Amino acid sequence: MAILGIDFDKCIICRKCLDICPMDVFGSIGETVFLAYPEDCARCFLCDRVCPTEAIMIDAKPVFPYPDPFAAKD
């Protein structure tokens, strides 16, 4: 499990983490996003990559470089 939590002081409720997570780790009730199934985290770090305010708390950053899936392609 890589995800530890969400820093609600930083979270702007953009819901990007909820939308991108392939494992449905995140859930929502109304406007609030929360960790529904943190034990299902696959350590893909996509939530961390898309969070504009760095509100996602994870236990480690990836140690290998990986391509930015959101970079413009030439």
Residue with tokens 């305010």: 53
Count of domains forming the chain: 1
Token pair of 3, please?
């995800």
* Tens-digit pLDDT profile for residues 20-67: 999 999 999 998 999 999 999 998 889 999 999 999 999 876 666 666
Q: What is the mean pLDDT of residues 3-24?
A: 95
User: Residue 70 falls within a domain, yes or no?
Assistant: no
CATH number at 14 reads: 3.30.70.20
- Please indicate, yes or no, if residue 52 is contained in any of the structural domains: yes
Is residue 64 one of the residues assigned to a domain? no
DSSP characters over 20-56: H-TT--EEEETTEEEES-GGG-----HHHHH-TT--E
17 three-class SS = helix
User: Which residue range(s) make up the domain with 43?
Assistant: 3-58
Rg of the chain taking only CA atoms, in angstroms: 12
